[in-house]
C-alpha cells in the first residue's frame, strides 16, 4: 500500500501572535505556558473535512439578504472578495470560508452582547461560501461598526469581519479578522497588536477595491488570505515501513 | 539575502466572544442556515461503536471556559479519513461518516459534547507504526490568539497507546496522561470524558502541527 506523505510547510510562528499577549488581557489565563510539541504531519494533520456546495443555501454568502425579514439591513452596502491561496501561491479551491460581524451600529446578534447600539432586525451577521476552482470567494454585507470591549476602560475595536477557513487539511485551519483600510482605530487595537510584526498586521487590512465596486450600488474591499502550503517531497529518504 | 517567492501565512486572530454567530449560530440565539454544522457526526448508517465525547475546558485558574469553540476530525471505524489524500485503499470509506464536527462549550455548564464513533487505527508516517485510535481536536476562543491543536486518545487502548508514535515522543511521560479520555458507561451508552487544561499544573499537551 502506498500512502502519499505530503505535509504542510512548518508554520512560521514569527508571523503569528504568541499565545500570551498581556496587552490583550483575556489571553493571560487562556494561554498555554509549556512549549508546543512539534509534530511531523501524518494523515491526521494533512487530511481534513470536505464540504460540498450543496450543503450551503443560495443566500448563505449574501448577508444583505440571508436574514432580511421586513427589508434589507441598515448600513453601507459592501462587497468583500478575494482569493484564498497557499504559501506556494496556488489557489485553494473548494474550501469553506465563514464570516461573522457586528451590524452597522457595532452590535452583534448574540445573547451575550449587551452593547447599547440596537440589533438590526434584518441582519443576522454571518455568512459562508466555498471558494471556486481558483480559490476566489466573495460575499456581500454591510460595513460593520466599531464597538467598545472590556480590556482597558476605553478600548474600542476597529470595524472588522471575523473569518474562518477550513483549508484542505486540518492543520491549515485558521481563524482571523479583516480590517478596513483607513480606519483610525486600527493602530491602537489591542487585538490586532497581538501580532508583533507590523508587516504581518498590515496584511489583515483590506484595501478599498473601487474596481470591484458595483456603481450606484455597493463599495468593495479586497481581502486575500494565505493558508499554509505543502512541502515538496524532493529527495525524500524512504524509510522501511513496519 | 534574496527572498524566495513564498507567501507568508495570514496571521491568526482570536475568534472572540461571538464566534458562535458565525460558526454555531444556534448557540448565539438564532437560526439562519438551512443546514447548520454541528456536534452529531453519526447518521443512521454510520459504521462503528457509538460513543459520546464530553468534557470541559479549564483556564489557568481552573475555571471552566464557557465560550470555547471545539472542532474534531477523525478517521472512520476502519481507520480511514474521508479525504482524497488518504490512500489507505485497503480500508473501506464510510459514506455515512464525514468525520468532522463542531460545537461550543455551554454557557451555563461549560460542557461540550460530540456524538460520534470510535475511530480505528490510522497508518503512521512512513517508517512508523500505526497510530492508536485518536480524535484530532482544534479549539479557538476569546483570549486564544491562535487555534490550539491536541489529540484525544482512548484510555481503554493501553497496548495501542503504548506503541503510538506520537504519544511515545511526549516527555515527561506523565504528560501523555493529559491526552487520555476516560471511558465511562452511562445511561446505556459509552461516554469518554476528556477535559482540556489551557494552562496550569495539568496543562494539556498542545501540538505545533
Ligand atoms: Fe468582533
Q: Determine contact: B146 vs chain A, CB below 8 A.
A: yes
Hey, are the CB atoms on B145 and A177 less than 8 Å from each other? Answer: no
Mean pLDDT of all residues in B17-34: 97
- Residue B94: beta bridge partners? none
pLDDT of residue A101: 98
**C-alpha cell recorded at residue A33:** 505556558
3-state secondary structure of B146: coil
Q: Which residues of A are catalytic?
A: 108, 147, 157, 160, 162
User: What is the number of other CB atoms lying within 10 angstroms of the CB of residue B28?
Assistant: 25
**Nearest Cα to Cα of residue A106 among A119, A91, A90:** A119
Q: pLDDT digit string (tens) for A213-224?
A: 999 999 999 999
Is the pLDDT reported for residue B174 higher than 50?
Answer: yes
pLDDT of residue A240: 41
Rounded to 10 degrees, the C-alpha dihedral A52/A53/A56/A57 comes to -150
- CA of B174 from ligand 1 middle (Å) equals 38
Q: Determine contact: B107 vs chain A, CB below 8 A.
A: yes
Give the confidence band of A241 by pLDDT, cuts at 50, 70, 90. very low
What number is the ipTM of this complex? Answer: 0.96
| A212 Cα to chain B: minimum distance (Å) | 22
Is the pLDDT reported for residue B130 higher than 60?
Answer: yes
Residues 6+ apart with CB under 8 A from A179: A158, A159, A160, A186, A189, A192, A204, A205, A206
Give the confidence band of B124 by pLDDT, cuts at 50, 70, 90. very high
CB B68 within 8 A of CB B139: yes
pTM value is: 0.96
Give the confidence band of B5 by pLDDT, cuts at 50, 70, 90. confident
Helix (H) or strand (E) run with residue B25 in it: helix B25-28
> Average pLDDT, whole number, for chain B?
96
Mean pLDDT of all residues in B183-198: 97
Q: Beta strand B50-58 with B189-193: parallel, antiparallel or unpaired? A: parallel
Give the confidence band of A231 by pLDDT, cuts at 50, 70, 90. confident
Give the confidence band of B160 by pLDDT, cuts at 50, 70, 90. very high
Mean pLDDT of all residues in B14-27: 98
Amino acid at each position: 500500500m502506498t500512502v502519499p506523505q505530503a505535509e504542510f510547510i512548518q508554520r512560521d510562528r514569527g508571523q503569528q501572535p504568541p499565545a500570551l499577549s498581556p496587552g490583550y488581557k483575556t489571553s493571560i489565563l487562556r494561554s498555554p505556558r509549556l512549549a508546543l510539541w512539534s509534530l511531523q504531519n501524518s494523515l491526521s494533520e494533512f487530511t481534513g473535512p470536505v464540504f460540498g456546495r450543496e450543503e450551503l443555501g443560495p443566500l448563505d454568502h449574501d448577508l444583505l439578504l440571508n436574514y432580511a425579514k421586513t427589508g434589507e439591513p441598515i448600513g453601507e452596502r459592501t462587497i468583500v472578495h478575494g482569493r484564498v491561496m497557499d504559501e506556494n501561491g496556488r489557489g485553494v479551491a473548494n474550501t469553506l470560508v465563514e464570516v461573522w460581524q457586528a451590524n452597522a451600529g457595532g452590535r452583534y446578534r448574540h445573547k451575550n452582547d449587551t452593547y447599547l447600539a440596537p440589533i438590526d432586525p434584518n441582519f443576522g451577521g454571518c455568512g459562508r461560501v466555498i471558494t471556486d476552482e481558483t480559490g476566489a470567494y466573495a460575499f456581500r454585507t454591510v460595513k460593520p461598526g466599531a464597538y467598545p470591549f472590556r480590556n482597558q476602560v476605553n478600548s474600542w475595536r476597529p470595524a472588522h469581519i471575523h473569518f474562518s477557513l477550513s483549508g484542505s487539511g486540518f492543520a491549515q485551519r485558521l481563524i482571523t479578522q479583516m480590517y478596513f483600510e483607513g480606519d483610525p482605530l486600527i493602530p491602537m487595537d489591542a487585538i490586532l497588536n497581538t501580532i508583533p510584526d507590523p508587516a504581518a498586521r498590515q496584511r489583515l487590512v483590506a484595501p478599498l477595491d473601487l474596481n470591484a465596486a458595483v456603481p450606484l450600488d455597493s463599495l468593495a474591499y479586497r481581502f486575500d488570505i494565505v493558508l499554509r502550503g505543502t512541502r515538496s517531497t524532493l529527495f525524500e529518504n524512504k524509510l522501511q515501513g513496519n | 539575502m534574496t527572498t524566495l517567492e513564498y507567501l507568508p501565512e495570514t496571521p491568526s486572530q482570536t475568534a472572540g466572544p461571538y464566534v458562535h454567530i458565525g460558526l454555531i449560530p444556534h448557540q448565539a440565539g438564532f437560526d439562519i442556515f438551512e443546514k447548520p454544522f454541528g456536534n452529531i457526526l453519526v447518521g443512521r448508517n454510520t459504521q462503528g461503536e457509538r460513543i459520546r465525547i464530553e468534557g470541559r475546558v479549564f483556564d489557568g485558574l481552573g475555571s471552566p471556559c464557557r465560550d470555547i469553540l471545539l472542532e474534531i476530525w477523525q478517521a472512520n471505524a476502519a481507520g480511514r479519513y474521508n479525504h482524497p489524500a488518504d490512500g489507505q485503499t485497503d480500508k473501506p470509506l464510510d459514506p455515512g461518516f464525514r468525520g468532522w464536527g463542531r460545537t461550543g462549550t455551554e454557557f451555563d455548564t461549560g460542557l461540550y459534547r460530540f456524538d460520534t464513533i470510535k475511530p480505528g487505527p490510522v497508518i503512521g508516517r512512513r517508517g512508523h507504526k500505526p497510530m492508536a485510535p485518536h480524535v484530532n481536536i482544534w479549539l479557538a476562543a476569546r483570549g486564544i490568539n491562535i487555534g490550539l491543536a491536541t489529540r484525544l486518545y482512548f484510555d481503554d487502548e493501553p497496548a495501542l497507546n503504548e506503541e503510538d508514535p506520537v504519544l511515545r515522543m511526549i516527555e515527561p511521560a506523565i504528560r501523555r496522561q493529559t491526552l487520555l479520555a476516560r471511558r465511562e458507561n452511562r445511561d446505556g451508552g459509552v461516554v469518554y470524558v476528556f477535559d482540556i487544561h489551557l494552562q496550569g499544573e495539568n496543562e494539556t499537551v498542545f501540538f505545533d502541527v
